[in-house]
Amino acid sequence: MTEQPDIAVEYFNKVKRALTGQVSRDSKRRERNQRQNSKPFDAGRTPKNLASTIDDLIRGFGWQGKVAEGDLFANWKLIVGDRVAEFSYPEDLSKGILTIRCKSTAWATQLRLMSGEIMVKIKERTPDLEVTEIKVLGPQAPSFKRGLRSVPGRGPRDTFG
C-alpha cells in the first residue's frame, strides 16, 4: 500500500519554497518520489486556468476583503465620477468605516451630502466589501508643534505675556 502525501504539508512546503527559496531535504525526497510515481494522465495533471488558480489562492488565504478594498481604492474614479475623484480620494478603510479625504472643505461638505449615493455605488461595485459608514475629512491644517523653527511653550497664544 502506497502512502498518500499530506496535502497540507505539500502546500506548506510549496509556499515556503516560493517565499524563501529554501527547500528542505524531506521535501526534496518527497518530490523525487512523486516524480517517479507520476503518470502523464494522472489526476491533478490537467492544466489549470490562471484566473481560477488566483481565485483559489485568494479564497485560501482569506484575502477577499483586501482585494475588494484594493479594487475600491484603485477604481475610485469609476465609483464617484471624474469630477469628484479629482478633489477626493479614499484614505483608509478599517472596521467598516471608509475615510475619504477631500482637497477642500467645500468638497468635504458636498461628499457628506452624497455619502448615501456613494454607499449604494460601493455596494453595487464591491459586494464583498463591508462598508458601514463613510467618514469625510477636509484638508489637514499645518501643525505649529513641530518644525525647524518651533520652540517649547504655549505657542501662538504666548505673545503678550
Q: Which residues contact 65 (CB under 8 A, 6 or more apart)?
A: 128, 129, 130
Structural domains counted in the chain: 2
Q: Which three cell numbers stand for residue 90?
A: 479614499
- pTM for the full predicted model: 0.56
**Judgement on whether residues 21 and 68 belong to the same structural domain of the protein:** no
Taking each helix axis from N to C end, the angle separating 50-61 and 64-74, rounded to the nearest 10 degrees, works out to: 110
Kindly calculate the radius of gyration of the chain based on its CA atoms and give it in whole angstroms.
27
Supply the DSSP symbol for 127. Answer: T
**Judgement on whether residues 83 and 122 belong to the same structural domain of the protein:** yes
The CATH number covering residue 110 comes to 3.30.300.180
pLDDT per position as a tens digit, 84-98: 889 998 988 888 899
pLDDT for 18 equals: 74
**Nearest to residue 67, comparing CAs of 118, 126, 18?**
126
**Domain residue limits at 89:** 64-137
Q: How far is residue 74's CA from residue 86's CA, in Å, rounded to a whole number?
A: 13
What average pLDDT score do residues 20-28 get? 70
**Judgement on whether residues 68 and 105 belong to the same structural domain of the protein:** yes
**Judgement on whether residues 27 and 77 belong to the same structural domain of the protein:** no
What average pLDDT score do residues 136-144 get? 79
**Judgement on whether residues 31 and 75 belong to the same structural domain of the protein:** no
For residue 7, the tally of other CB atoms under 10 A from its CB is 8
| Residue 149: inside a domain | no
| Residue 68: inside a domain | yes
**Judgement on whether residues 24 and 85 belong to the same structural domain of the protein:** no
**Judgement on whether residues 130 and 69 belong to the same structural domain of the protein:** yes
Q: Quick one: which H or E segment has residue 94?
A: strand 88-94
**Judgement on whether residues 31 and 78 belong to the same structural domain of the protein:** no
**Judgement on whether residues 127 and 69 belong to the same structural domain of the protein:** yes
| Residue 133: inside a domain | yes
Q: Which three cell numbers stand for residue 5?
A: 502525501
> Any idea which residue has 481604492 for its cell?
73
| 29 band by pLDDT with thresholds 50, 70 and 90 | confident
